[in-house]
Amino acid sequence: MADPVRIGLLGCGTVGRAFADLLDERAEAVEAATGQRPELAGVLTRGEGSFEEILERSDLIVELIGGTDVARDHVLSALRAGRPVVTANKQLLARYGEELFAAARDSGVQLRFEAAVAGAIPIVRVIQESFGVTEIGKVFGIVNGTTNFILSEMASSGAPYEEVLARAQKLGYAEADPTDDVTGADAAAKMAILARLAFHAPVTLDEVVYEGIEQVKPDDLAYAKELDLSLKLLGVAERREGGISVRVFPCFLYSGHPLAPVGGPFNAVMVEAPAITEVTMSGPGAGGIQTASAVLGDVVSILAGEAPLHEVREDLPIVTDFTSSFYLHLEVADRPGVLAKITHVLGENEVSVKSVVQRGIGDEARLVMVIHECLESRFSAAIDEIAQLDELRSAPRSIRVIEEEFV
Amino acid sequence: MADPVRIGLLGCGTVGRAFADLLDERAEAVEAATGQRPELAGVLTRGEGSFEEILERSDLIVELIGGTDVARDHVLSALRAGRPVVTANKQLLARYGEELFAAARDSGVQLRFEAAVAGAIPIVRVIQESFGVTEIGKVFGIVNGTTNFILSEMASSGAPYEEVLARAQKLGYAEADPTDDVTGADAAAKMAILARLAFHAPVTLDEVVYEGIEQVKPDDLAYAKELDLSLKLLGVAERREGGISVRVFPCFLYSGHPLAPVGGPFNAVMVEAPAITEVTMSGPGAGGIQTASAVLGDVVSILAGEAPLHEVREDLPIVTDFTSSFYLHLEVADRPGVLAKITHVLGENEVSVKSVVQRGIGDEARLVMVIHECLESRFSAAIDEIAQLDELRSAPRSIRVIEEEFV
Nearest chain A alpha carbon to B257: A261
Q: Which of B133, B305, B312 sits opposite A296 (nearest CB)?
A: B133
Complex ipTM value: 0.91
Closest Cα in chain B, distance from residue A4 (Å): 17
pTM (2 d.p.):
0.92
| Residues sharing a CB contact under 8 Å with residue B87, sequence separation 6 or more, in sequence order | B62, B63, B64, B71, B75, B93, B111, B112, B113, B115, B116
Kindly report the three-state secondary structure assignment for every residue of chain A.
CCCCEEEEEECCCHHHHHHHHHHHHCHHHHHHHHCCCEEEEEEECCCCCCHHHHHHCCCEEEECCCCCCHHHHHHHHHHHCCCCEEECCHHHHHHHHHHHHHHHHHHCCCEECHHHCCCCCCHHHHHHHHCCCCCCCEEEEECCHHHHHHHHHHHHHCCCHHHHHHHHHHHCCCCCCCHHHHCCHHHHHHHHHHHHHHHCCCCCHHHCEECCCCCCCHHHHHHHHHCCEEEEEEEEEEEECCEEEEEEEEEEEECCCCCCCCCCCEEEEEEEECCCEEEEEEEECCCHHHHHHHHHHHHHHHHCCCCCCCCCCCCCCECCCCEEEEEEEEEEECCCCHHHHHHHHHHHCCCCEEEEEEEEECCEEEEEEEEEEEEHHHHHHHHHHHHHCCCECCCCEEEEEECCCCC
Low-confidence ranges of chain B (pLDDT < 70): 1, 405-407
Question: Which pLDDT does position A322 carry in this prediction?
Answer: 83
How confident is the prediction for chain A on average, in pLDDT?
93
Indicate whether A309 pLDDT > 80: no
β-bridge pairing B243-254 and A353-361:
unpaired
Task: Report pLDDT for A407.
Answer: 39
Confidence band of A402 (pLDDT split at 50, 70, 90): confident
Superfamily of domain A123-284: Dihydrodipicolinate Reductase; domain 2 (3.30.360.10)
The one catalytic residue in B170, B190, B225, B232 is B190
Residue B281 with chain A: CB contacts under 8 Å: 279-282
Does A107 have pLDDT greater than 50? yes
Predicted pLDDT at B405: 57
pLDDT of residue A376: 93
Q: A276 to chain B: which residues are within 8 Å by CB?
A: 120, 283-284, 290, 293
Mean pLDDT computed over A343-352 = 95
The alpha-carbon gap from A81 to the nearest alpha carbon of chain B, in Å, equals: 24
> Which of A279, A295, A310, A315 to substitute to test the interface with B, most B CBs within 10 Å?
A279
Closest CA to B304 of B30, B116, B121: B30
- Tens digits of residue pLDDT in A57-66: 999 999 999 9
**Same fold yes or no, A5-116 and A323-402:** no
Candidates 3.40.50.720, 3.40.50.2300, 1.10.443.10, 3.90.1300.10; correct CATH number of A5-116? 3.40.50.720
* Sequence spans of domains, chain A: 5-116, 123-284, 323-402
pLDDT of A315 over the 90 cut? no
Q: Which of B121, B133, B279 faces A279 most closely, judged by CB atoms?
A: B121
Residue A87 burial (C-beta neighbours within 10 Å; 0-12, 13-18, 19+)? buried
CATH top class, domain A323-402: alpha beta
CB contact under 8 A, A126 and B129: no
* CB–CB contact A287 B277 (8 Å): yes
Distance from CA of B268 to the nearest CA of A (A): 9
Fold of the CATH domain B123-283: Dihydrodipicolinate Reductase; domain 2 (3.30.360)
Contact between chains at B407 and A263 (C-beta distance less than 8 A): yes
- Between A33-37, A315-319, B139-143, B170-174, the lowest mean confidence (pLDDT) is in A315-319
**Closest residue to B290, CB basis, from A129, A277, A283:** A277
Put simply, the answer to whether B276 touches A120 (Cβ < 8 Å) is yes
Of A126, A130, A133, the CB nearest to B29: A133
Contacts of A291 in chain B (CB under 8 A): none
Q: What is the largest CA-CA distance in chain B?
A: 87
Cα separation values, A181 from A184, A185, B60, B241, Å: 6, 6, 47, 42
Which residues on chain B are in Cβ contact (under 8 Å) with A197? none
| A-B C-beta contacts closer than 8 Å | 168
Question: In terms of DSSP bridges, do strands B323-333 and B397-402 run parallel, antiparallel, or are they unpaired?
Answer: antiparallel
Chain A nearest CA to B350, separation (Å): 36
Cβ distance B284 to B290 under 8 Å? yes
Can you tell me the distance from the alpha carbon of A311 to that of A50, in angstroms, rounded to the nearest whole number? 33
- How far is A381 from chain B, CA to nearest CA, in Å? 39
Q: Which of B129, B274, B277 is nearest residue A283 as measured by Cβ atoms?
A: B277
| Alpha-carbon distance B130 to nearest alpha carbon in chain A (angstroms) | 5
Question: Does A300 contact B294 at a Cβ distance shorter than 8 Å?
Answer: no
pLDDT in tens, A356-367: 888 887 888 999
Nearest CA in chain B to A257: B261
Residue A306 and residue B310: Cβ atoms within 8 Å?
A: no
Three state DSSP letters for chain B:
CCCCEEEEEECCCHHHHHHHHHHHHCHHHHHHHHCCCEEEEEEECCCCCCHHHHHHCCCEEEECCCCCCHHHHHHHHHHHCCCCEEECCHHHHHHHHHHHHHHHHHHCCCEECHHHCCCCCCHHHHHHHHCCCCCCCEEEEECCHHHHHHHHHHHHHCCCHHHHHHHHHHCCCCCCCCHHHHCCHHHHHHHHHHHHHHHCCCCCHHHCEECCCCCCCHHHHHHHHHCCEEEEEEEEEEEECCEEEEEEEEEEEECCCCCCCCCCCEEEEEEEECCCEEEEEEEECCCHHHHHHHHHHHHHHHHCCCCCCCCCCCCCCECCCCEEEEEEEEEEECCCCHHHHHHHHHHHCCCCEEEEEEEEECCEEEEEEEEEEEEHHHHHHHHHHHHCCCCECCCCEEEEEECCCCC
Q: Give the C-alpha separation, B276 to A295, whole Å.
A: 12
Largest CA distance in chain A: 87
Q: What is the pLDDT of residue B249?
A: 96
Exactly one of A138, A170, A190, A341 is catalytic; name it.
A190
B309 neighbourhood in chain A, CB within 8 Å: 33-34, 300, 304
Q: Does B190 qualify as catalytic in the annotation? A: yes
Which of A276, A296, A298, A301 to mutate: most B Cβ within 10 Å? A276
Cβ(B64)–Cβ(B29) below 8 Å? no
A contact test, residue of B276, B295, B314 with most A CBs within 10 A: B276
pLDDT over 90, % of chain A: 80
